[in-house]
Structure 1
Amino acid sequence: MKKIVFFLISIISIVSCKKEENTNFKIGVISDCQYCHCDVKWDRYYKKSPTRLKEAVHTLNKDTLSYTIHLGDFIDKDFKSLDSILPTWHKLKSETYHVLGNHDFEVKDSLKKEVIKKLNLKNRYYSIVKNDWRFIVLDGNDLSFFGALSKDKKRQTDSIFNLLKDNNLPFVKKWNGALSLKQLSWIKNELDIATKNNEKVGFYCHFPIYPIDQHNIWNREQFLALIKPYTNVKFFFNGHNHAGAYELKDNVHYLTFKGMVDTENESAFANVEFKKDTIIVNGFYREPSRKLVIK
């Protein structure tokens, strides 16, 4: 009888371990591929991006990834640039997602909505649920001088920019943007759903929140006030500042991924593994590897 009990306990233990292991998953992260057939500018080697993206796809496909996400500025300008690199992007074996960046809208006004369609986005901001995580994808171009497409959004853009421009804030630049009140309300609803479902939350955006510099989203204070009561918020991943950056604030990991387009000889991308109490960033080339502890 003791042998049978021991056997059953062993089986239960093995099943429990496997169940815990199965909650781990990996994703791919790329930022600022920013391709265009352009000359080098600001240490950005635009013409090298297709080759770098091809290599990243080949490397990421060696792993079993739940999805791969690009953190904005897939192209620099010229709508036709999308046709040059999307075939490579579509070779990813995982599911794929895009965050909208400011340079993605650096096309003719008549083609801006077409960029969204080309990137296969049904909505400009949305969420992804995987295991006990809710990943909230933000649109920092919602209110901006390049991505606000309706008259109302353009009016709101002028209003918030004029309200902040005399406050001597380093990030109130016309190349950044803001979250509309409608999007902020949607974010709160997503956070409430995550809390109800006992889900951890991670944010993706093109524009950073921390550290404070010339790249931040305009209404970062509004966003921070919104998420402050939610202890299930664990990270905020973004691009835009091609040099990369990191800051831990109130147990939230704010990580800026380096731009793929930058420097003459090195690319940058990562795969990210989600474990029970840790996020492991496995960086390639210029992207540093990191261990982010979840509390």
Structure 2
Amino acid sequence: MFVSLSPEQLHALGEVSEFYRLPAMGPPRDDENRPVRVRFGLLADPQYADVDPDPSHVRYYRHSLEKLAQVIDELNQQPLDFVVTLGDLVDRQWSSYADILPLYRRLKHPHLTVMGNHDADTLSRHLASQRPALALPKHYFHFSFAGYCFIAIDGNDLSLYCNQANGDEQLRAQHMLGQLQAQGAIQAQPWNGGLGEAQLDWLAQTLQTAAQRHEQIIVFGHYPLAPEDRHNLWNHQAVVALLVKYRARAYFAGHQHAGGYQRIDGTDFITLKGLVDGARSTPFAVVELYGNTLTLHGYGTQHSLTLK
């Protein structure tokens, strides 16, 4: 299932809609008589903007164009089934999409985008400026490939990035955030978000169906779920409980640019480092799934992992 854009949203987003449509997937690369080895590329938080570095000189927004070009060139040399960007393609400017789109068009592999909080903010402001105003779209989907179920969730479902065309969703987001702040939850930050009830129900049903089909489950999201961190999804505990219940193999996220890792009851929660951080560092990864082993080959400052 793919949550599609409306004709009005497609028209308003124009070429940018390429990032938020599911690409055609080719057949698995391995011979049918051998165990299938799935390989995909991962990068997180290019967060490009044509602006100077932040005051702390941690985020080099303008450098992301050059770094993203290097990463795409490297990924094009790899035998991959697809590539996933784990959110925050741009930082703040609608015009930034026009600068990064030609780079992504050079990518030789199918590309899937997870919507990040900076993407959601930029898209939402652009769509709200239309007449009439258009809602921030929902961007969660799944697909089956080579015995795996790949799922992408949308952590901006309930968030302060929703605009007036999203109905009461921003009010519900404010209520959720207020409750978490009253509880002293560290993830109760305005730049995070959460999953609404409809998406949680969809996720539970999708996981259940995948488990019944004996598919291994891989999930992508922008907001981390574990370990505990101020960057986590507002209702991360509910999502962790679902992934553990249905024995998801792994969850990949961005958003926390320092990266992170935790295993909970057999599910690996992996957060990639942010591409925008550092003047020259280009962290990204290639993930290989083969049998019961998940291998994350890290590049640049991204650590490697072999998880059985």
Measure how far apart 1:22 and its partner are: 4.9
Match of 2:44 in 1: 31
Question: After superposition, where does 1:4-15 map in structure 2 within 5 Å?
Answer: none
| Poorly superposed stretches of 4+, deviation over 6 Å | none
RMSD over aligned CA atoms reads: 2.0
Match of 1:94 in 2: 109
Question: After superposition, where does 1:249-268 map in structure 2 within 5 Å?
Answer: 249-268=264-283
Is 1:65 aligned with 2:80? yes
Q: Does the 8 A contact of 1:79 with 1:107 survive in 2?
A: yes
Q: Does the 8 A contact of 1:77 with 1:103 survive in 2?
A: yes
- Could you tell me how far apart the structure 2 residues matched to 1:140 and 1:112 are? 18
Is 1:155 aligned with 2:171? yes
Measure how far apart 1:108 and its partner are: 7.0
Change over 3 Å in CA distance of 1:109–1:205 after alignment to 2? closer
Question: Is the partner of 1:212 in helix, strand or coil?
Answer: coil
Task: Name which of 96, 115, 132 aligns with 2:147.
Answer: 132
Measure how far apart 1:235 and its partner are: 0.6
- Could you tell me how far apart the structure 1 residues matched to 2:275 and 2:124 are? 26
% identical aligned pairs = 30
**Structure 1, residues 60-101: CA drift from partner, whole Å, max 9, x if none?**
011121110000000001001000011101111111000000
Match of 2:195 in 1: 179
Match of 1:227 in 2: 243
Measure how far apart 1:20 and its partner are: 5.9
TM-score scaled to structure 1, two decimals? 0.87
Q: Does the 8 A contact of 1:142 with 1:179 survive in 2?
A: yes
- Could you tell me how far apart the structure 1 residues matched to 2:158 and 2:200 are? 12
Measure how far apart 1:159 and its partner are: 2.0
TM-score scaled to structure 2, two decimals? 0.83
Consecutive unaligned residues in structure 2, runs of 5 or more? 1-29, 130-135
Question: After superposition, where does 1:111-130 map in structure 2 within 5 Å?
Answer: 111-112=126-127, 124-130=139-145
Q: Does the 8 A contact of 1:78 with 1:106 survive in 2?
A: no
Match of 1:3 in 2: none
Match of 1:76 in 2: 91
Q: Which moved more, 1:122-131 or 1:45-54?
A: 122-131
Task: Name which of 174, 191, 213 aligns with 2:229.
Answer: 213
Question: Is the partner of 2:63 in helix, strand or coil?
Answer: helix
Measure how far apart 1:208 and its partner are: 0.5
Measure how far apart 1:112 and its partner are: 4.2
